[in-house]
Structure 1
Amino acid sequence: MITVEDAKAHCRIEHGAEDGLLESLIAAAFRQIENRTGQVFDKVEGAEMVLDSLPSGGAGIELQWTPVRTVNELVFLDPQGVEQTMLATELSLDARGVYPKLYPVTEWPESKGQRASVKVKADIGYAELPADVRAAALLIIGHLYEHREAVVIGTIATDLPMGVELLLAPYVIHRVG
């Protein structure tokens, strides 16, 4: 995604004394972007979503992430409480729409209705960081690096007209409710 070297070049830092700070600013920038857009930009392998039961009939499971690169498996408790696994070959991912939906290739098996009895494991996030999101992240990192205090006194500030909000606008998932 964005390396410490990328952040150092953007902030024009020529020493390694603040590498730890830059790592934390990179993480903070991505959390801000992900909170703002509702999407996952950092590649995560093996993310886990927990449910209380499998749906009945042909209903799909709406996954909590977007985008989802692959679903690895679904682990659930059968009616007798024995752990069962559905592999990726037994699952179908419908990536249309805001949040992807997971369906069985044939039909959902019976599951035990119990808290946290179903776990979906998936690889999520963008395979490659879009250029405009990268630019927005670097703007945020630069801002946080230059302004390390909660309050700046004695300056007049204004948002950059072609700044972070404009760069992230195409990726924002608008929520209702």
Structure 2
Amino acid sequence: MITLEEAKAHCRIEHDAEDSLVQSLISAAFRQIENRTGQAFDHVADAEMVLDSLPSGDSGIELKWTPVRAVKGVVYLDPLGVEQTLSGADLLLDVRGVYPMLYPAQEWPESKRDRASVKVTADIGYETVPADVRAAALLIIGHLYENREAVVIGTIATELPLGVDLLLAPYVIHRMG
């Protein structure tokens, strides 16, 4: 992530009066980047994904994040409604596709088919945010800091040819359907 000090230096802010605003702009910039690219750049140690049941046999579960550093475990309800746990050692993570797939080391156990009866916990995000993504975030932060309204009247603006879209293009996951 980008620190408050880095964002303030980029925006040439020399006071502390707007620290909470700048911090919120940092968060907003990364949410925008994550929404645009389909990737998780912020490191989250215990991200959770909820399912209604485990697949059968040795079918995989497509995880909703990319990148996934490690799957910590799966907690599920067995057919009798008793909570069971599969540790990371019981699971195989295939990161070759756009979204990682999670497979059982053997076969998935039988689970109860009920709303939110399965919870996958994973360590996601980049260890270090790539330099071009950091640059895009700083451009977004600077833009949001300087333009605090949805409409600016009386100015002529041009998009930077080497702006946010170009910096983020290698990270965008194109979705079908």
Q: When the two structures are superposed, what TM-score results if normalisation uses the length of structure 1?
A: 0.99
Percent of aligned pairs sharing the same letter: 77
Superimposed CA distance per residue, residues 4-49 of structure 1 (whole angstroms, 9 cap, x where no aligned partner): 0000110011111110000000000001100100011011110100
Contact 2:58/2:106 (8 A) holds in 1: no
User: Could you tell me how far apart the structure 2 residues matched to 1:103 and 1:11 are?
Assistant: 46
1:48 correspondence with 2:52: no
> How big is each residue's C-alpha offset from its partner over 1:56-110, in whole Å with a ceiling of 9 and x where there is no partner?
1111000000111111110000111100000011111001110000011111111
Which residue in 2 is equivalent to 1:106?
106
Q: Amino acid of the residue matched to residue 120 of structure 2?
A: V
Q: Give the aligned partner of residue 90 of structure 1.
A: 90
Letter in 2 for 1:52: D
Looking at structure 1, the residues matched to 74 and 31 of structure 2 have their Cα atoms a distance apart, in angstroms, of 27
- Give the counterpart letter for 1:37 in structure 2: T
Runs of 4+ residues over 6 Å off in structure 1 = none
Distance 2:107 2:172 in 1: 33
**Contact preservation (8 Å) 2:43, 2:127:** yes
| Cα RMSD after superposing both structures | 0.6
Distance 2:150 2:112 in 1: 49
CA distance in 2, matches of 1:85, 1:11: 48
Q: How many angstroms apart in 2 are the aligned matches of 1:152 and 1:69?
A: 42
Structure 1 residue ranges without an equivalent (≥5): none
Structure 2 unaligned regions, length at least 5: none
Report the CA distance between 1:120 and its aligned residue: 0.1
Aligned runs of 1:112-123 on 2, under 5 Å?
112-123=112-123
